[in-house]
A and B are shown apart, each in its own frame.
Chain A
Amino acid sequence: MIKNMPLSAMIGLFFVCLYFAMAIFAPWLAPYGMAEVVGDVWEPSSAAHWLGTDNIGRDLLTRMIYGGQTTIYIATAATILSFTMGSVLGFLAAVLGGWADQLLSRSVDLVMSIPSLILALVILSVMPVTVPILIVVMGVLDSTRVFRLARAVAVDINAMEFVEAATLRGEGRGWVIFREILPNALSPLVAEMGLRFIFAVLFISTLSFLGLGVQPPLADWGGIVKENKDGIVYGIGAALYPAVAIATLAISVNLVADWILNRTTSLKGGRG
């Protein structure tokens, strides 16, 4: 499997591992403390501060590393939540059919008829903005897309002979979902997972940038842009580093997801 891996997927995988390692080992990698003021405002890069300092004199490399940790943590948690919820409900809808399917599908249609950013803003206007709430809001909103894919794939699989054989054998719904459908639906779902993860990274960054995501002094990539955006008009590019970080992470995950998707030509679900 690894031997036949194309170069692009290998590069992608390398960067994805690198970012996750950075997120996990952030406290050991970061040269300074997360909220520690160590220099002047917006110092240029130097030997002591590789990326310079931010708007109140914190080391930018440190902020970027801790920011990556927060962003990746929230995005991962939201993706896991949206996947568990979306695929379990999607499989259930496909297997049960009838009114349960109708009810679930129509509710998902309703939620998807509002842009998720707008819906998130409406929800966050009445909820306190904390990390667990952000994860739940993002996870639930995103699970609608997973639901659609999971349901579509499961409906296809559910019509196959081996599922019928299992049902005739007298297996229960749990067996059909977890032993018959899940293994066959796994690979389009895993490819989709990459895209949903990227979407979550972009989403949390956008919310933080708007001041409605991760709250200071905690660092995250969107927040770093918000904190340093005033420097742009003076020609200070501190706010642009997260762009590089987000773009490389997003492209790497895309490359890996494309490779996984291409390995499974059948049962390609919709991507969106």
Chain B
Amino acid sequence: MGPALRLVVQRIALGLLLLFLVSILIFWGTLILPGDVAQAILGQSATPEALANLRDELGVNDPPLTRYFEWLGGVLTGDLGTALTNGKDIAESIGSRLENTLFLAFWAAVIAVPLAILLGLLAVRYRDRWPDKLISGVTLSTISIPEFLIGYVLMYFVGVKLGWAPTVSMIHDGMNLGQKLHSIALPVAVLTLVVLAHMMRMTRAAILNVMQSPYIETADLKGLTKFNIIWKHAFPNSISPVVNVVMLNLAYLVVGVVVVEVVFTYPGMGQYLVDHVSKRDLPVVQACGLIFAAVYITLNMIADVVSILSNPKLRHPK
């Protein structure tokens, strides 16, 4: 495990460093940008006293370095501060919302990942024939429409015209799993469609890449069936890129969730973030931004670690 282990440790250290730098970027980025934050929050008609009070509360007058470390210390101990707009504890508000968001993303992933790999295999098997062209055509059009519009198209046809699923995804603790799943059917469908397209295209490309190796030609000349070649010979060697693709798309899911939650007024992190961006509630935006970035960085890190571990050259050094 020598070189592989070292690479994994290196990658994790890099991930942590990245997280630290991102926290600086998010914190200072909101400070050094031109424009007076207090003015932006209160609007043009604010009185000088109110502005001074708010600046004091925001701590704009303290040196930036102290403020950053106070904030970082708070974040690390689970204290995200209080929201400016309603004075509520941010960590408390985020808790249940984060759970809801992960619930939504989890079900989208459970459906999209196996489906994408299956469709990718199919597209390779029938390469350049009609199933491939059909799959590519459909996925190209779902990539070309923004998530929120796919959401409204599905809401209009499936939710309103057919009445199969609720158009507003309310969710609360009193519901059992079946009710919850019915409630989030449409947002899950939207997320699945969006991620599926990316994932399937990248899976197809990854397997096609392996299909050009000489050993595949050997298998072909041995007279194996096309599907056997893909499933037994090409697929195992494309696991590493495919896992990478899956992780990248799960990371993408994290962002897609923001918009889809707004469309279906789902009580999750994304809606919380967007609401507070328009209210210019800086502590909430910083906290949410950091959490989204952390999830994204972690998923990317896992993708890299998996591809290191699945590389036989690194696992069995000579």
Contact = CB atoms under 8 A, between A and B. Distances in A.
B161 A235 contact: yes
Contact of A121 (B161, B251, B285): B285
B190 to A, nearest CB: 12
A114 interface: yes
Contacts of B82: none
Interface string A95-128: 0000000000000011101110111011111111
Interface residues on A, range: 35 or more
Interface string A44-79: 000000000000000000000000000000000000
Contacts of A243: 145, 149-150, 152-153
B30 A210 contact: no
A247 B145 contact: yes
B292 interface: yes
Contact of A225 (B35, B148, B258): B148
Nearest to B17: A110
Interface stretch (B47-55, B72-80, B225-233, B274-282): B274-282
Nearest to B149: A243
B135 to A, nearest CB: 16
Contacts of B273: 118, 121
B141 interface: yes
Interface in B250-282: 251-252, 254-255, 258-259, 262-263, 273-274, 276-278, 280-282
Interface stretch (B21-29, B213-221, B234-242): B21-29
Nearest to B274: A210
A233 interface: yes
Contacts of B296: 113-115, 118
B7 to A, nearest CB: 17
Most buried by A among B21, B22, B149, B160: B149
B167 A125 contact: no
B134 to A, nearest CB: 15
Interface in B134-164: 140-141, 143-150, 152-153, 155-156, 159-161
Interface in A4-22: none
B42 interface: no
A122 B156 contact: no
Contacts of A209: 146, 148, 259, 262
B153 A126 contact: no
B299 to A, nearest CB: 11
A118 B286 contact: no
A126 B152 contact: no
B243 interface: no
A123 B167 contact: no
Given A113-B300, A118-B289, A123-B29, A128 B40 contact: yes
B33 A229 contact: no
Contacts of A254: 140, 144
Contacts of B262: 209-210
Given A122-B30, A211-B278, A212-B278, A232 B155 contact: yes
A66 B22 CA distance: 38
A242 interface: yes
Given A113-B293, A123-B33, A212-B278, A247 B144 contact: yes
Interface stretch (A26-34, A158-166, A179-187, A198-206): A198-206
Contact of A126 (B35, B143, B160): B35
A39 interface: no
Contact of B25 (A114, A198, A205): A114
Given A127-B35, A233-B160, A118 B255 contact: yes
Nearest to A233: B167
A251 B21 CA distance: 37
Nearest to A124: B277
Contact of B146 (A111, A126, A202, A235): A202
A113 to B, nearest CB: 5
Contacts of B33: 123, 126-127
A237 interface: yes
A240 interface: yes
Contacts of A198: 144
B289 A122 contact: yes
Contacts of B161: 235
Contacts of A247: 141, 144-145, 149
B147 to A, nearest CB: 7
B8 interface: no
Q: Which 3 A-B pairs have the closest CB atoms?
A: A250-B144, A243-B149, A115-B255
Given A205-B149, A239-B152, A247-B144, 7 more contacts: A110-B25, A113-B297, A126-B282, A206-B259, A235-B156, A235-B161, A251-B144
Interface of A: 109-111, 113-115, 117-119, 121-128, 198, 202, 205-206, 209-212, 222, 225, 229, 232-235, 237, 239-240, 242-243, 246-247, 250-251, 254
11 contacts: A110-B21, A118-B255, A118-B273, A121-B274, A127-B34, A198-B144, A205-B148, A210-B262, A222-B148, A240-B156, A250-B144
